[in-house]
Amino acid sequence: MKQPRAWQRMLSGRRLDLLDPTPVDIEISDIAHGLAFVARWNGQTTGDWPYSVAEHALLVEELFTRILPAAGPRWQLAALLHDAPEYVIGDMISPVKSAVGPGYEALDARLSAAIHIRFGLPAVLPQRVKRAIKRADRVSAWLEAIQIAGFAVAEADRLFTRPDPGLVADRAIRPRPPREAREAFLARFTDLIDASDAQSGQ
């Protein structure tokens, strides 16, 4: 019986096998392009443009750096790439992930490991870093919920926990066109790679 196709062709020309991803088939241009076109909150946000996963990744990396200021560029890069698998599997809201079950988590973990290795990170991140990224992710979800996704503050507090005011006081979310989100993501990635290389070369 013929096996169903499990790979996707990327704009870079790479063919990424979703069931058995390898680092050599991962390109940052594909990730940035894909994430810039994947909408958070299933597209249920205010404004003329969807709020993309690329924009969310930039926000999480910024918040992560505020939470763990001594982390350094290597772990900031991990924060920027925390949702990178969504460039091929999309952004499922939490209720859908629960309905799909553990298969989604396993797929996400395989893709994350390949992406991490491709860009010089450990396949599995240290717990301290994972916890800080998760905290930044929840803070970003709270911000997004009240600013662009139509949640009342009390509802966001209950679902995502109200963050320290110092983390969010000056942060306003304004969704941008995909091209701008893609370019901002790539620029930040390049800055962090350069800083990480410089640090490791010392």
For 22, 116, 147, 179, 186, the CA distances from 119, given in Å and listed in that order, are 12, 5, 33, 23, 13
Residue 81: CA count within 13 A, CB half-sphere: 34
Residue 32: CA count within 13 A, CB half-sphere: 17
Convert 18-56 to b/e letters by CB count within 10 Å (16 or more is b).
eeebeeebbbbebbbbbbbebbbbeeebeeeebbbbbbb
Task: Please give the pLDDT value at position 90.
Answer: 86
Q: How far apart are CA 121 and CA 115, in angstroms?
A: 8
Task: Please give the pLDDT value at position 9.
Answer: 93
Task: Identify the H or E element spanning 112.
Answer: helix 102-118
Task: Please give the pLDDT value at position 19.
Answer: 85
Is residue 142 within 8 Å of 163, Cβ to Cβ?
A: yes
**Count of helices and strands (H, E) across the chain:** 10, 2
Task: Please give the pLDDT value at position 105.
Answer: 83
Task: Identify the H or E element spanning 7.
Answer: strand 7-9
Number of other CB atoms surrounding residue 135 within 10 Å: 19
Is residue 198 within 8 Å of 74, Cβ to Cβ?
A: no
Task: Please give the pLDDT value at position 92.
Answer: 75
In the chain, where the domains are located: 25-196
Is residue 57 within 8 Å of 72, Cβ to Cβ?
A: no
Residue 70 has φ and ψ, to the nearest 5°, of: -95, 10
**Got the DSSP string for 75-88?**
HHHHHHTTTTTHHH
Residues in the chain with pLDDT values less than 50: none
pTM over 0.85: yes
Q: Which CATH superfamily is domain 25-196 in?
A: Hypothetical protein af1432 (1.10.3210.10)
Q: How far apart are CA 162 and CA 116, in angstroms?
A: 30
